[in-house]
Amino acid sequence: MSRRTYNQYCATARTLDIVGERWTLLVIRELLTGPKRFGDLLANLAGMGTGLLAARLRYLQEEGLVQQVVLPPPAKAPAYALTEAGADLGPTVLALARWGLRWAAEERREGEVFRLGWTVLGMQAIFDAEAARDVRAVYEFRVDDDVFHVRVEHGEIESVHGPAQRPDVVIETSAEVFRALMAGELSVAEAKRSGSAEVSGDQQLLRKLRSLFRLPQPQARVAEEAAGGSALTPPTGGKPSNPL
């Protein structure tokens, strides 16, 4: 594919030369939670198209951000994974997610696609490391046909697709209920009482789960006109909310 450049001797511009094309960072986002087969990437990147995805993957391989791998048994299928350089973009992608939760958290628009798997990475974006400094636990989430788990280890988090070997807490629910849990509209205890979620495991670690993730308070990007005058006022802040 053609290489466009800002032609600036600047680290930011050079980075955007590599990852600034449409869809590129979303391919990186998909691979941050582990290797993916071509078909998995295509399913999660609705609207991208087979030809464009193939071109982006070739480009990212040439740039040293993505490599081809073979998934372990029983799959033994060809897949794509991030290189060290590609994985190093993780904090950048998470920072964009946190910015979006604060400054672009509008209502879901008609026609917008949502994939539950994106929540796997999103949980890293809203993780409260300070609240987790004394926590060591593995939480497994079974949401419809998807399974993923979160490993919390003394202020650090790892969230990956697939079941955990020995989860401390297991939460099984539907995608809609899980969305409500992540949005802070419903607590795990409420979902359990209503029968919309099945929960098992260490009760103390379950109670701790709610404090480990903190949604930023949504803000308006455009200043509003002050009441009774023409002056503009900045958006007001607020305390972050706790999902789960």
Distance CA 233, CA 14 (A): 36
Q: Confirm if 117 and 90 have CB atoms less than 8 A apart.
A: no
Burial grade of 116 (CB within 10 A; 0-12, 13-18, 19 or more): middle
- Judged by average pLDDT, the poorest of 28-32, 180-184, 235-239 is 235-239
pLDDT at 129 over 70: yes
Return the minimum-mean-pLDDT range out of 55-59, 82-86, 211-215, 234-238. Answer: 234-238
- The pLDDT value given to residue 216: 87
Condensed to tens digits (0 to 9), the pLDDT of residues 30-64 reads 999 889 999 999 999 988 999 999 999 999 999 99
Tell me the sheet residues that pair with 81.
67
Task: Give the rounded percent of residues in the chain with a pLDDT score beyond 70.
Answer: 92
Point out the least confidently predicted range of 18-32, 51-65, 79-93, 94-108.
Answer: 94-108
CA atoms of 224 and 232, how far apart (whole Å): 6
CA distances to 142, 184, 188, 189, 191 from 195, rounded to whole Å, are 15, 18, 10, 10, 6
Query: What does pLDDT average to over the chain?
Result: 89
Q: Residue by residue, what is the 3-state secondary structure of the chain?
A: CCCCCCCCCCHHHHHHHHHCCCCHHHHHHHHCCCCECHHHHHHHCCCCCHHHHHHHHHHHHHCCCEEEEECCCCCCCEEEEECHHHHCCHHHHHHHHHHHHHHCCCCCCCCCCCCCCHHHHHHHHCECCCCCCCCEEEEEEEECCEEEEEEEECCEEEEEECCCCCCCEEEEECHHHHHHHHCCCCCHHHHHHHCCEEEEECHHHHHHHHHHECECCCCCCCCEECCCCCCEECCCCCCCECCC
Q: What pLDDT sits at residue 237?
A: 55
**Where do the domains of the chain lie, and which CATH numbers do they carry?**
11-88 (1.10.10.10), 118-212 (3.30.1050.10)
Among 22-26, 120-124, 232-236, 238-242, which stretch is predicted with the lowest mean pLDDT?
A: 232-236
d(Cα 69, Cα 88) in Å, to the nearest integer?
Answer: 18
Strand partners, 224: 233
Residues 117-144 have a mean pLDDT of 92
Residues 6+ apart with CB under 8 A from 43: none
Write phi, then psi, for 80 (nearest 5 degrees).
Answer: -120, 140
Rounded to whole angstroms, how far apart are CA atoms 48 and 116? 18
pLDDT value of residue 163: 93
**36, 80 contact by CB (below 8 A):** yes
